[in-house]
Amino acid sequence: MNAQATMEQGRVTMDAGRQVLSLQGPVSFDTAALLADEGCRLLKQVAPETAVSIDARGVQHSSSATLTVVLEWWRALNARQLRLKDVLLPEQMRPLVALSGLNRILPER
């Protein structure tokens, strides 16, 4: 099963074969909630105990809005008893993750 949702400012996809939830395109605070909700909806289709990766490398102009989406997906993974395999972030987001201390809960590759 591959699922995809396109929002006005970004796109969320779930590749169930590889168990990767992806975020692409520009993400803003105006669209972050919709994108987070769509990813959470897609995660409901994944069997418990499955290891899922989050890939946000396709985000343009990443900011704390992108991090907000990733954190919401992390919460949804935990709530659904899914395992977070790794998080792939744009290079420019890594300092923000490290500064906030989130690198302890978001396993980067």
d(CA 96, CA 83): 23
Residue 109 lies inside a defined structural domain of this protein: no
Residue 49 lies inside a defined structural domain of this protein: yes
- The residues with which 41 forms a beta bridge, in sequence order, are none
d(CA 54, CA 88): 6
Residue 54 lies inside a defined structural domain of this protein: yes
Residue 99 lies inside a defined structural domain of this protein: yes
pLDDT, mean of residues 47-54: 95
pLDDT, mean of residues 34-38: 94
Smallest Cα–Cα separation from 15: which of 101, 85, 105, 90? 85
pLDDT on residue 85: 94
Residue 33 lies inside a defined structural domain of this protein: yes
pLDDT on residue 47: 94
Full residue range of the structural domain in which residue 54 is found: 2-104
What does residue 82 show for φ and ψ, rounded to 5 degrees?
Answer: -100, 155
Domain count, the chain: 1
pTM for the whole thing?
0.83
